[in-house]
Structure 1
Amino acid sequence: MTVSVNAPVLMPMWMIVVAVAGLILVAAWLLRSLLVTRRDQSREVGDIPMAPSERGQWVERVETAARRFTAGETDLRGLHLELASAVRGFAAARSGEDITTVTVREILDMSATTGPDDVEDRLRLVRRHRRPLDANPLGHVGELLAVWEQPSFDRDPEAAAEEAVSEAREVVTRW
């Protein structure tokens, strides 16, 4: 009795083409999802060095706002607006980002944080404590601006003004 061995049946070519095409599609999908969900590094905030004379101009703006409040030329809200303008200008000069027209949430979003990552959680904490909590300089500025938005009608405007001026001084002298 003779046994005949049949030739092996090969896989059709179309199956190989479909498998390779599927692998290419999966690789493209993975690459796209990694590139799209990657953190946007284009908005990374720098830390530009500042000459003492330039820093002195920002300190002088803070002192001018404090003198105007002490002389009665402006109220607490006006003081907060002047200090916010000075601190925003200073932070823009130090960070290289134009933050003079962005919202507090946008400032907090672009700054690296030492606190909660969620901007709303940060704002809730800051408003509850009524002082900035972030150690990151730009985050500190954003939180400080959020604090200054709230107390337009403070019970003790002199104490609130003194605290606001000292916080603004700290920002322009330490960062």
Structure 2
Amino acid sequence: MPDVELVDPLPYAGWWPWVALAIVVAVVGWYVWVLRSTRGPAGSPRPDLRPTVTAAPAPNARRDPYAAVRGVALARFDDVQRRYDAGELDLRGANLEIRFALREFATARTGVDTSAMTAAQARGDRRTRPLAALLENTSVPSFAPTTRARLARSLDQARKRVTRW
């Protein structure tokens, strides 16, 4: 060993454990604040997010293999109209619901996943081509800041497409 004298290491300052504890408390407090501020009160009932529609069997159910799916879509359109008239949905929300029901029907009808399909993509596939015009017609009321669209027209077009497709 060289002629240098070894010196013991210096102990860390006594306030460092308090800083570590403060950081842990701050992180736990932040998580508690986020969870409490993004959740409803503990006793409040949760809204029922399941669809409230029931499909009546179509009269030509024997000949039409898509009668049940068609009935569900038409019942959803009726539900959208009822909720819009009751003030539960605005025009944008109603058109988004129509788009969802159309996409769900088209997926069941064609077997192609249309949940995120654009109008251009729908037009490019011959199986989903009937969906393209409806996606275009309902996109402006769904996403534009202002629109002069009427819900009755969107519902009428959607009902016609579902009934005839």
Q: Is the 8 A contact 1:50 1:94 kept in 2?
A: no
- Paired with 2:105 and 2:66, the residues of 1 have a C-alpha distance of 12
Which residue in 2 is equivalent to 1:111? Answer: 126
Which residue in 2 is equivalent to 1:166? Answer: 156
| Secondary structure at the counterpart of residue 72 of structure 1 | coil
Q: Is the 8 A contact 2:137 2:154 kept in 1?
A: no
| Secondary structure at the counterpart of residue 150 of structure 1 | helix
1:94 aligns with one of 109, 127, 130: 109
Q: Is the 8 A contact 2:69 2:105 kept in 1?
A: no
Q: Is the 8 A contact 2:69 2:108 kept in 1?
A: no
- Paired with 2:104 and 2:156, the residues of 1 have a C-alpha distance of 17
Aligned residues: 99
Q: Which runs of 5+ in 2 are unaligned?
A: 1-63
C-alpha distance after superposition, 1:141-171 (max 9, x if no partner): 112111211134223x5xx100001111112
- Paired with 2:66 and 2:125, the residues of 1 have a C-alpha distance of 25
- Paired with 2:66 and 2:114, the residues of 1 have a C-alpha distance of 20
The yes-or-no answer on 1:147 pairing with 2:131 is no
Counterpart of 2:126, as a letter, is S
- Paired with 2:159 and 2:151, the residues of 1 have a C-alpha distance of 12
Q: How does 1:43-122 map to 2 (within 5 A)?
A: 50-111=65-126
* Structure of higher RCO (CA pairs closer than 8 Å, 6+ residues apart): 1
- Paired with 2:66 and 2:134, the residues of 1 have a C-alpha distance of 24
Counterpart of 1:145, as a letter, is L
Counterpart of 1:65, as a letter, is V
- Paired with 1:143 and 1:51, the residues of 2 have a C-alpha distance of 21
Which residue in 1 is equivalent to 2:41? Answer: none
C-alpha distance after superposition, 1:83-116 (max 9, x if no partner): 000001101111110111222221111127xxxx
- Paired with 2:65 and 2:77, the residues of 1 have a C-alpha distance of 17
TM-score (norm. length: structure 1): 0.52
- Paired with 1:109 and 1:53, the residues of 2 have a C-alpha distance of 27
TM-score (norm. length: structure 2): 0.54
Which residue in 1 is equivalent to 2:42? Answer: none
Which residue in 1 is equivalent to 2:9? Answer: none
CA RMSD of aligned residues (A): 1.8
- Paired with 1:86 and 1:171, the residues of 2 have a C-alpha distance of 12
